[in-house]
Amino acid sequence: MSSAQLISALRDAHQAHLCAQLQNEEHWQALMAQASGSLGAVPLGKLVDSDALTTVVDQWLQQALSAQGLQGVVSDVSKAVWEAAEKDPATVGQLLSEDHFEAILEQVLKLQTLREKAVHAAMNHPLVSEMVSEMLYTGIKNFLLEENALAKLPGVSSVMKMGRKSMVGKAMGGMEESIRDYLRKNIRVTLKTGEQWLNKQLTNERIEQLARDGYQRVAPLKPADYLKLVPAGTIDEVVSQSCAIGDETARLDYTRQLVSVGIHAAVQSLSDMPLQTLLEGMKISEEQVREITAPALARGATVLIEQGVLEPFIQWVLDDFYQSEACKKIIDNG
């Protein structure tokens, strides 16, 4: 057998061996166990370069990342999940247990300063001002006309007895702009009073009572019943806008800086923690990871081989060595 034939035979055998290994669950189990034995006790901080990782992510966000390219996929996935949720009989109480609700409520009650700022912002919103003005005007008008309050004023009752109620209505109509103008000028005082009243009413005890009462009311409800009310086409529109906003946000210096800080903080937090410790904290063992992952990897390799994708790739990788001068030199000298 010539050197070229021997090299070709070795490469083919090596390729067949690798393909068989990659389809074998036991191979993946052994490979992952070997990796765990070699790296399991090594602190994760020694396996990751935070600066290099941050640079890659930053460049990706700045130049390459685009959610719009996957817009169709995101839309299809969202609609599939939405349709499944529409048919699911789960209740709010099943999705958010009472214990978890109480834990969230406990944290919310600590945010008194933020709560007061939110009330202030809400009460000073122009829409709230207009709404309160309209409510006050409507209340005043109804009181004066529908409750016959004007009839009790001296001189008005005699006019109404003469069958001239329409004149009172017209007079009230003529006062509309004056009343509205007065309300607009004094609405800030009214809203400040409302803000003070809300802050006084929204004590922790009252919020607890309202929140628990609200939870008990919504716990039996099914989200599916409300998801069905969303108009058709909404998901596509939301996905489109979200992808566009996501692309713009990803390229902002603000976003990239936060991502950079987050990566460094994550690596720093994990720096002294070995993989074994991390998995234990996540309530899962390395054996469970292997049992879950190995079959999936073996099946994935089988699919790739069946589709004719994996073998050409392996051949390309092996050719880098088997066609090299170093390989030929070893064979020739053998």
pLDDT per residue as tens digits for the range 236-275: 999 999 988 888 888 888 988 998 899 888 888 888 888 8
Give the global pTM: 0.65
Same domain, 72 and 168: no
* pLDDT band with cut points at 50, 70 and 90 for residue 172: low
Structural domains in the chain (count): 2
Q: What's the CA gap between 265 and 94, in Å, rounded?
A: 34
Predicted pLDDT of residue 83: 93
* Residue 323 DSSP SS3: coil
More confident residue, 232 or 144: 232
**Quick one: DSSP state of residue 70?**
G
pLDDT in tens, 202-222: 888 999 999 999 999 999 999
User: Of the given ranges (10-14, 29-33, 107-111, 170-174), which has the lowest mean pLDDT?
Assistant: 170-174
Query: Is the residue at 228 inside a domain?
Result: no
Asked whether residue 44 is assigned to any structural domain, the reply reads yes
* Residue 20: inside a domain: yes
Band of pLDDT at residue 146, cut at 50, 70 and 90:
low
Q: Does residue 130 fall inside a structural domain?
A: yes
Q: Do 106 and 201 fall within a single domain?
A: yes
- Mean local confidence (pLDDT), 32-40: 86
Residues in the chain: 334
Residues 182 and 168 in one domain: yes
Residue 274, beta-bridge partner list: 43
Whether 227 is covered by a domain: the verdict is no
Could you say which of 186, 221, 256 is where a domain stops? 221
Residue 102 inside a domain? The answer is yes
What is the domain range of residue 175? 92-221
Shared domain for 204 and 126, answered yes or no, is yes
Q: At residue 160, does pLDDT exceed 80?
A: no
Computed over every residue of the chain, the mean pLDDT equals 86
And the tokens for 231?
């108009």
Q: Do 215 and 98 meet the contact criterion of CB atoms below 8 Å apart? A: yes
Place of tokens 């009752």: 157
Domain end: 174, 194, 221, which one? 221
Give the DSSP letter string of 78-133.
Answer: HHHHHHHHHH----HHHHS-HHHHHHHHHHHTT-HHHHHHHHHHHHTSHHHHHHHH
User: Of 221, 243, 275, which residue sits at a domain end?
Assistant: 221
Q: Is the pLDDT of residue 36 over 90?
A: no
Residue 164 has pLDDT above 50, yes or no: no
Within a domain: residue 226? Answer: no
- Whether 250 and 61 have beta carbons less than 8 Å apart is answered as yes
Classify each residue of 16-37 as buried b or exposed e, where b means 16 or more C-beta atoms within 10 Å of its C-beta.
eebbeebbbbebbbeebeeebe
Do 72 and 104 have their domain in common? no
Q: For the chain, what percent of residues have pLDDT higher than 70?
A: 90
Examine the domain organization and report whether 64 and 35 are in the same domain: yes
Task: Note whether 98 and 80 are same-domain residues.
Answer: no
Strand runs (DSSP E) across the chain, as ranges?
A: none
The model's confidence at residue 309, banded by pLDDT at 50, 70 and 90, is very high
Q: How far apart are CA 241 and CA 251, in angstroms?
A: 16
Same domain as 133, residue 59: no
pLDDT at 171: 53
Tell me the pLDDT band of 141, cut-offs 50, 70 and 90.
confident
**Adjacent-strand bridge partners of 43:** 274
Percent of the chain with pLDDT over 90: 42
Q: Which SS3 state, helix, strand or coil, does residue 30 take?
A: helix
Q: Are residues 133 and 201 in the same domain?
A: yes
Find the radius of gyration of the CA atoms of the chain.
Answer: 36
Report, as an integer, the average pLDDT of 144-164.
55
Selection from 4, 18, 12, 19 nearest residue 323 by Cα: 4
Identify the band that residue 151 occupies on the pLDDT scale cut at 50, 70 and 90. Answer: low
Alpha-carbon distances of 260 from 163, 245, 268, rounded to whole Å: 80, 20, 12
Let me know if residue 266 belongs to a domain.
Answer: yes
Task: Give 8-15 contacts, CB < 8 A, sequence gap 24+.
Answer: 8/322, 10/322, 11/315, 11/318, 11/319, 11/322, 14/318, 14/322, 15/311, 15/314, 15/315, 15/318
Q: Which pLDDT does position 178 carry in this prediction?
A: 80
**Based on the domain organization, do 103 and 216 belong to the same domain?**
yes
Q: Which residue has the higher pLDDT, 26 or 246?
A: 26
Q: What pLDDT score was predicted for residue 11?
A: 94
Verify that 108 and 213 share a domain, yes or no.
yes
Whether the CB-CB separation of 93 and 220 falls below 8 Å is answered with yes
Judgement on whether residues 171 and 254 belong to the same structural domain of the protein: no
Q: Which of 56, 46, 41, 54 is nearest to 265 (CA)?
A: 54
